[in-house]
Chain A
Amino acid sequence: MASGVIAVVDYGMGNLRSVQQALARVAKGGDVVVTSKASVISRAERVVFPGQGAMPDCMRELDARGLRDAVLEAAKNKPFLGICIGQQMLFEYSEEGGVPGLGIFPGRVRRFPVEKMRGGDGVRLKVPHMGWNRVVQARLHPLWNGIDDGARFYFVHSYYADPADFSTVAGVTDYGLPFPSATARDNIFAIQCHPEKSAQTGLAFLSNFICWSP
């Protein structure tokens, strides 16, 4: 299963070492390559699309490296995993900087309404949403195999995806409001949290991705 190359798309935004090392840990002989070459992405068996920093910068750098088409192509036909800003970039538009995304999923990326957010105890919630929160599985999916419904993953973000098509929601997390922490369709899975930083739960999730045949 994991014979081919797993390409981690590097468009110059932040450090991909953690993603690479966590994938390498579960890849069982698969070759994990951090790359900014369209040709490597095109030949890869599966593609991981991470993201860090601000979405306008991420979109700009993706285009500056000429990787948009390779990413769009990969998202059409191979196992494709978006992580964090890599989930947000799959949507049509982000309130962060008011930029368009790749438009693979219909919907927008919105900022947490920090002034309105209160926890169950009435105490104000902080933004960024930082730490371990529950992901409630909205439906069955091979990437949830062996992972408890409501298992905690590590999050750090100030914006969240708000899909126009609810059939794409694969997981929901509550932080002042319920937001879709995982979205999926066909060969694409995208997750707001950081599986590479989510201890055993995260490694199990990445292992599911490595073995996934959509």
Chain B
Amino acid sequence: MGLAKRVIPCLDVTAGRVVKGTNFINLRDAGDPVEIARRYDEQGADELVFLDITASSDRRDIILHIVEACASQVFIPLTVGGGVRSANDVRRLLNAGADKVSMNTAAINNPDLVAETSAKVGNQCIVVAIDAKLTKPGRWTVYTHGGRTPTGIDAIEWARKAQTLGAGEILLTSMDCDGTRNGFDLKLTRAVSDALDIPVIASGGVGSLEHLAEGVIEGRADAVLAASIFHLGEYTVGQAKTHMQRRGIEVRL
């Protein structure tokens, strides 16, 4: 008996509301972030991830207020990402109450940002998010800007580099699977997890409780992230964990 595999609901937030899209487009309103965060905490979520997908820069500070409100009511770890560009962005989110900050495009464009912030706040606070797409069998390419821009960079190589730079964790999203509800890209998850010493959160594609179990058993993920199956009330986090436990996975119940 030891460390539990984590179940992490993800809240995509724009302009103060939680939304869920399919393959990075078609957003649907799913509710108030703080209320949803509190519900997930009660259901036994191990952590929460807020991804700020607000497009307009003048509304970006709304996320800080949401993080503040959430951190004063929910006493589980909170990761915040989306649009993080500078060490100052990292500092402001941590000061607002985030425990970890996730970087995606900025980390690719400026790898020094990962090194600099990690050295300053500790690698436990720095998550590098990778959006990856299958380009040929066994090879995945990193995309940036919310999945719009191919970089030509190999996802496994980038994950290794992010670890070396000082990432404490990788949030790995398969763009091919995200929003499909057909399950994680297990080959991608396994390849990245096996290549790293740091934990990997599998993301993208969960449509059933068995998908979560597969992510851990076959994908060897340290944590599994899902959005729509929880937001739309199909399953509770508790049901997800009970299912995983039945499949022999150690969880916090």
Chain B residue at minimal CB-CB distance from A178:
B2
Question: Which residues does chain A contribute within 8 Å of B72, judged by CB atoms?
Answer: 21
Q: How far in angstroms is the closest Cβ of chain B from A99?
A: 15
Question: Which residues does chain B contribute within 8 Å of A25, judged by CB atoms?
Answer: 75
Number of interface residues, chain A, beta carbon within 8 A: 41
Taken residue by residue from 54 to 86, chain A's Cβ proximity to chain B (1 for < 8 Å, 0 otherwise) reads as: 100000000000000000000000000000000
**Cβ of A187 < 8 Å from any Cβ of B?**
no
Within 8 A of B (CB), among A136-180: 150, 152, 154-158, 174-175
A17 touching B1 by the CB < 8 A rule?
no
Stretch at the interface among B15-23, B57-65, B116-124, B202-210: B116-124
User: Residue among B72, B75, B122, B198 with the most chain A CB within 10 A?
Assistant: B75
**Cβ of B41 < 8 Å from any Cβ of A?**
yes
Quick one: given A130-B168, A132-B252, A175-B3, are A199 and B71 in contact (CB under 8 Å)? Answer: no
Chain A binding surface, main DSSP class: mixed
Chain A residue at minimal CB-CB distance from B91:
A15
Contact of B198 among A21, A127, A131 (CB under 8 A): A127
B97 touching A17 by the CB < 8 A rule?
yes
Within 8 A of A (CB), among B101-140: 119-125
A198 touching B198 by the CB < 8 A rule?
no
Stretch at the interface among A36-44, A101-109, A118-126: A118-126
Within 8 A of A (CB), among B207-224: 220, 222-223
A58 to B4 Cα, complex, angstroms: 29
Chain B residue at minimal CB-CB distance from A176:
B2
A52 touching B122 by the CB < 8 A rule?
yes
Contact of B222 among A126, A157, A196, A198 (CB under 8 A): A126
Contact of B2 among A22, A52, A54, A133 (CB under 8 A): A133
A203 touching B3 by the CB < 8 A rule?
no
The contact sample of 29 A-B pairs, CB cut-off 8 A, is: A15-B94, A17-B95, A17-B97, A18-B97, A21-B97, A22-B75, A25-B75, A53-B120, A119-B3, A126-B197, A126-B198, A126-B222, A128-B198, A130-B169, A131-B3, A131-B199, A132-B252, A133-B3, A134-B1, A152-B4, A152-B252, A154-B46, A156-B77, A158-B123, A174-B2, A198-B76, A199-B41, A199-B76, A202-B75
A198 to B44 Cα, complex, angstroms: 11
Chain B residue at minimal CB-CB distance from A115:
B197
A25 to B237 Cα, complex, angstroms: 25
Contact of A120 among B2, B76, B95, B96 (CB under 8 A): B2
Contact of B99 among A18, A131, A150 (CB under 8 A): A18
A76 to B252 Cα, complex, angstroms: 36
**Cβ of A14 < 8 Å from any Cβ of B?**
yes
Contact of A157 among B2, B41, B124 (CB under 8 A): B124
Q: How far in angstroms is the closest Cβ of chain A from B240?
A: 15
Question: Which residues does chain A contribute within 8 Å of B231, judged by CB atoms?
Answer: none
A54 touching B3 by the CB < 8 A rule?
no
A198 to B47 Cα, complex, angstroms: 10
A197 touching B123 by the CB < 8 A rule?
no
A77 to B13 Cα, complex, angstroms: 47
Q: How far in angstroms is the closest Cβ of chain B from A118?
A: 11
B220 touching A131 by the CB < 8 A rule?
no
Chain B residue at minimal CB-CB distance from A198:
B75
Question: Which residues does chain B contribute within 8 Å of A132, judged by CB atoms?
Answer: 3-4, 6, 46, 252
Within 8 A of A (CB), among B130-155: none
A131 to B76 Cα, complex, angstroms: 10
Question: Which residues does chain B contribute within 8 Å of A134, judged by CB atoms?
Answer: 1-2
Q: A128-B168, A131-B5, A132-B252 are in contact. List 6 more A-B contacts (CB 8 A).
A: A14-B94, A14-B121, A21-B72, A125-B3, A126-B198, A133-B2
Q: How far in angstroms is the closest Cβ of chain B from A88?
A: 12
Contact of A52 among B6, B125, B222 (CB under 8 A): B125
Quick one: given A197-B77, A198-B75, A202-B75, are A130 and B199 in contact (CB under 8 Å)? Answer: yes
**Cβ of B229 < 8 Å from any Cβ of A?**
no
**Cβ of A110 < 8 Å from any Cβ of B?**
no
A119 to B199 Cα, complex, angstroms: 14
A21 touching B71 by the CB < 8 A rule?
yes
